[in-house]
Structure 1
Amino acid sequence: MQQRGDPAHGEIVFRRKDLACLKCHAIAGAGGLAGPDLVSIGASAPIDYLIESILLPNKAVKENYHSTIVATRDGRFYTGIKVRETNEQLVLRDAEDREVIIPVKAIEERSMGGSLMPEGLADSLTRAELVDLVRFLSELGKVGPYAVSKARLARRWQVLETTREAYHHLISTRIASVTTADSALLWTPAYSRVSGDLPLDALPRFMFGKPQGEQADVLGFARCQIDVSTGGAIKLILNSTTGLALWLDSEPVEIKSEITVSLLPGIHTLTFAVNLPQRHDSLRCEFDEAPGSTVRFSVVTGK
């Protein structure tokens, strides 16, 4: 299986929305927290284990990822991975990657369950797709194209969904209003590939009409965040400037292949508008300290 599978296609299978792998699993911190991070699973687990984990998820549950089943005095049931517990509260992470808070005094009974990964998840896969998926997982963490770079890359993104409300908001105001915290704008999670780039097909498409005879603008919107603990100058490195517009928080930024900005402590949002017909490269965004800068920051990960 390791020799026959296609890891590139296996990554496509892994990212499929119907499988929802990234809802529970992260790679290099980008994705859900209900399951273990898979960044090095290929270097630490044999092929047989990977196959069993997909086909028989309850056979070998990784330590600290057994679920806890809770029955409360009012007749409710909860299942999730224990995040933390105090004398007052038990916090579980459920299969939707949500934290559920249960008062300890409300618990009538609790027991250990199996994996949150459902049985039969691979039933929708062809044999070739399963082989490719396992091959992809088996490459994670090994030297080669599926080893995560040490570069500080945006891996966790949010993309703007093409809702009627979002269209109305952007048309009735201006494109730059995509940076506002308006309830009409629905942002959903998206994640870079292992290589660190966000494929353009992950961006929902907005079509904005023009006068007759002119081609409509087709745009997609994506945003990522950095958390600055000590202010200073940060260098932003893009793989390509073609078809991009950028705002830092709510301020427009001139697009260049390398951009230096000075940031105060706090979480900052970079919002990209991508002209999809113009751009052919995926979106890759790398961060580094500017020369001589004392800035301290981290790229926001998670879900």
Structure 2
Amino acid sequence: MPVEKMPQELTNPEIASLARTAKETADPVKGELVFRKSNLTCLTCHAIGGAGGRIGPDLSSLGTSSPAETIIRSILYPNASIKEGFELQRVAKKDGTELMGYLVSNGTSDIVLRDVAGQEVSIPKSQITIIEKVPGSLMPAGLTASLDKEEFINLVSFLSKLGESGKFRVPTARFVRRWNTVSASKELARKIGTDGPGYIVKENAKVLWQPAYSKVSGELPLDELPVIDANTGKRYSFARFDIEVVSKGNVNLEMNSTAGLNAWVGSKPLKLTDRGVVTDLPQGIHTITVAVDRSLHKDVPLSIQLLDAETAPAQTRLVIGR
């Protein structure tokens, strides 16, 4: 029998029935996998734990403020209810250009607008001719039309549990959540086969990076990372993240497993122990790159936690966002 597709128009009793099913029998673990599907682009606009898009609201505590019925309506009819602070604004400037986005701040001499790419843009008021609200939401209707009914219900179950006690509350521990991964290509595979995985951190490396995000738990699933076949019997995946060192000192990165991993800060190799690495870093933003040998690092997600070093700890924070 063909799988039943999720209808995009529902009556109030149908919404109530779906909400009950989502609460009582659905699988939120499977729902998180649906949420992370690239074709839904949820993380392009929304963040969890600060990692993800900044166009829509952060969803970390959605389940504590919105019941399942409200979530269903928000998905199917995004224009019906706009969260406060996410009313779309149109700004027309004297030079004839226009910007669309959300108003972040309204100062005495300028405004700050978060545009549709999630970037904050400061605009002097002296350059503005019109600021007006635009009806509707940037979230289009029909995003879940490709899902079957079971996938949709599992998705709602996951969203309705975000922020509640248990496995769908973002941990207070400082797990890396915002990553970039390497897109596979024949040229990159050839270079890594010739130069080894360290090619990835060379200044002249031709590499296309794309965003990736950890699950609520802080784990980055390996099966979501592109695999590069180096034609030497080795298959690699790569991921990198940024740390801001506010005051210099030792930085402690604890890893759930270092089997098959190589790591660099900038282009400098890091010496990993079985627990991760402690390294002395100066003030500034530093990129940590990890190469995963897929033949040695199997069936274990990538999980890295930023801890305070025992001696001479640096003051640090993880760079999050899109």
Residue 235 of structure 1 pairs with residue 252 of structure 2: yes
What is the aligned-residue identity percentage?
Answer: 39
CA distance in 1: counterparts of 2:203 and 2:124, whole angstroms: 33
Residue 265 of structure 1 pairs with residue 286 of structure 2: no
Residue 298 of structure 1 pairs with residue 312 of structure 2: no
Residue 121 of structure 1 pairs with residue 139 of structure 2: no
Indicate the SS of the match to 1:153.
coil
> Which residue number corresponds to residue 274 of structure 1?
292
Indicate the SS of the match to 2:316.
strand
Indicate the SS of the match to 1:129.
helix
**TM-score, scaled relative to structure 2:** 0.84
> Which residue number corresponds to residue 5 of structure 1?
26
> Which residue number corresponds to residue 251 of structure 1?
268
Shift of the alpha carbon at 1:94? 3.7
One of 35, 54, 69 as aligned partner of 1:48: 69
CA distance in 2: counterparts of 1:90 and 1:270, whole angstroms: 35
Amino acid at match of 1:284: S
Shift of the alpha carbon at 1:180? 2.9
Amino acid at match of 1:20: T
> Which residue number corresponds to residue 213 of structure 1?
none
CA distance in 1: counterparts of 2:318 and 2:78, whole angstroms: 31
Shift of the alpha carbon at 1:253? 1.6
Residue 180 of structure 1 pairs with residue 198 of structure 2: no
Task: Provide closer, same or farther for how the CA distance between residues 66 and 183 of structure 1 changes in structure 2, counting only shifts above 3 A.
Answer: farther
Q: How does 1:1-303 map to 2 (within 5 A)?
A: 1-71=22-92, 78-84=99-105, 91-99=112-120, 107-113=128-134, 114-167=136-189, 169-171=191-193, 173-182=195-204, 184-210=206-232, 216-258=233-275, 259-280=277-298, 281-303=300-322
**TM-score, scaled relative to structure 1:** 0.89
Q: Which runs of 5+ in 2 are unaligned?
A: 1-21
8 A Cα contact 1:198 1:282, kept in partner = yes
8 A Cα contact 1:204 1:220, kept in partner = yes
8 A Cα contact 2:190 2:231, kept in partner = no
CA distance in 2: counterparts of 1:131 and 1:94, whole angstroms: 32
Task: Provide closer, same or farther for how the CA distance between residues 73 and 164 of structure 1 changes in structure 2, counting only shifts above 3 A.
Answer: farther
Residue-by-residue CA offset, 1:119-172 (whole Å, 9 max, x unaligned): 111222211111111100111111101111111110000001113453454455
Amino acid at match of 1:117: M
